[in-house]
Chains A and B, each alone.
Chain A
Amino acid sequence: MSTATASPTSPPRPLMARLDTPGLLLVLAALALAVFLLLPLGALLRHSLLDEGGRWSLQRFQDFAQAPGMAEAAWNTFWVALLVTCITVPLAFCYAYAIQRSCIPFKGLWRILGLSPLLGPSLVGAIAFIQWFGTQGVLKALLGETSVYGPLGIVMATVFSSFPHALMVLIVALATADGRLYEAADALSATRWRKFVTVTLPAAKYGLISAAMLVFAYSVSEFGIPKVIGGNFKVLAVEIYVQTVGQQNLGRGAVVALMLLIPVMFAYAVDRQVQRRQQAAMTARAVPYQPRPDTRRDTGLLVFTVLVAAALVAVLGMAMYTSVITFWPYNLAPTLDHYTYGLADAGVGNAYLNSLQIALLTALAGTPFVFVTAYLLEKTGTPGSALRAAIQAMASLPMGVPGLVLGIGYILFFNHPDNPLNGLYQTLAIMVIVNVVHYYSACHLTALTALKSLDREFEAVSASLKVSRLVTFFRVTLPVCLPAVLEISRYLFINAMTTVSALVFLYSPDTLPAAVSILNLDEAGELGPAAAMATLIVLTTGLFSLLHAGLTGLLLRRHQAWRSASR
Chain B
Amino acid sequence: MSHLQIRGIGKRFGAFTALHAIDLDVQKGEFVVLLGPSGCGKTTLLRTLAGLERQDSGQIVHAGRDISRLPPAERDYGIVFQSYALFPNLNVGQNVAYGLSHWRGGREVFRQQVDEMLQLVGLPGTENKYPAQLSGGQQQRIALARALATRPDLLLLDEPLSALDAIERVRLRSEIRKLQQRLGVTTLMVTHDQEEALSMADRIVVMRGGRIQQVGDPQTIYHRPANDFVADFIGRGNLIEGVATASDEIEGLGAKLRCNATLTSGKSYRFYLRPEDICLLDPLETADNSLLATVDKCEFLGPVTLVTLSPLVPGQPTLLAQFSGNYLAGRSLEVGARVRIGLPAARLQPMPEAA
A-side residues, CB < 8 A to B, are: 4-6, 8, 10, 455-458, 460-468, 475-476, 479-480, 560-562, 565-567
Contact = CB atoms under 8 A, between A and B. Distances in A.
Interface string B141-158: 000001100101000100
Contacts of A560: 89
A565 B130 CA distance: 7
B320 interface: no
Contacts of B84: 455
B89 A562 contact: yes
B77 interface: yes
B19 to A, nearest CB: 14
A562 B65 CA distance: 41
A6 B78 contact: no
Interface string B6-41: 000000000000000000000000000000000000
B284 interface: no
Given A4-B65, A476-B90, A566-B132, A463 B72 contact: yes
B221 interface: no
A334 B134 CA distance: 61
B261 interface: no
Contacts of B88: 480, 562
Contacts of B81: 455, 457, 460-461
A457 B85 contact: yes
Contacts of A475: 87, 90
Contacts of A466: 73, 99, 150
B79 A461 contact: yes
Contacts of A476: 87, 89-90
Q: A10, A463, A465, A567 — which one has the most chain B CB atoms within 10 A of its CB?
A: A465
A460 B75 CA distance: 12
A7 to B, nearest CB: 8
A158 to B, nearest CB: 43
B85 A6 contact: no
A479 B94 CA distance: 14
B58 interface: yes
A465 B98 CA distance: 7
B50 interface: yes
Given A8-B66, A460-B79, A565-B133, 4 more contacts: A8-B57, A464-B72, A468-B73, A479-B89
Contacts of B146: 461, 465
A465 B150 contact: yes
B72 A460 contact: yes
Nearest to A562: B130
Contacts of B133: 565-567
Given A463-B71, A463-B72, A480 B89 contact: yes
A464 B79 contact: yes
B214 interface: no
Nearest to B55: A8
Interface in B54-88: 57-59, 65-66, 68-69, 71-73, 75, 77-79, 81, 83-85, 87-88
Contacts of B90: 475-476, 562
Interface in B97-151: 98-99, 129-135, 146-147, 150
Q: B50, B89, B98 — which one has the most chain A CB atoms within 10 A of its CB?
A: B89
Contacts of A467: 98-99
B67 to A, nearest CB: 9
Contacts of A464: 50, 72-73, 75, 77-79, 99, 147, 152, 156
B22 to A, nearest CB: 13
Contacts of A566: 132-133
Given A8-B59, A480-B89, A460 B99 contact: no
Contact of A8 (B65, B68, B130): B68
Which 6 A-B residue pairings sit nearest by Cβ, starting from the closest?
Answer: A465-B99, A463-B72, A457-B85, A5-B66, A562-B130, A565-B130
13 contacts: A6-B69, A10-B69, A455-B83, A455-B85, A458-B85, A461-B85, A463-B52, A464-B72, A467-B98, A565-B129, A565-B130, A565-B133, A567-B132
Contacts of A5: 65-66
Contacts of B134: 567
B209 interface: no
A479 B87 CA distance: 10
Contacts of A465: 78, 98-99, 146-147, 150
Contacts of B147: 464-465
B162 interface: no
Contacts of B65: 4-5
Nearest to B14: A384
A10 B69 CA distance: 10
Nearest to A6: B69
A468 B83 CA distance: 21
A460 B47 CA distance: 10
Contacts of B77: 464
B210 to A, nearest CB: 18
A565 B152 CA distance: 31
A463 B73 contact: yes
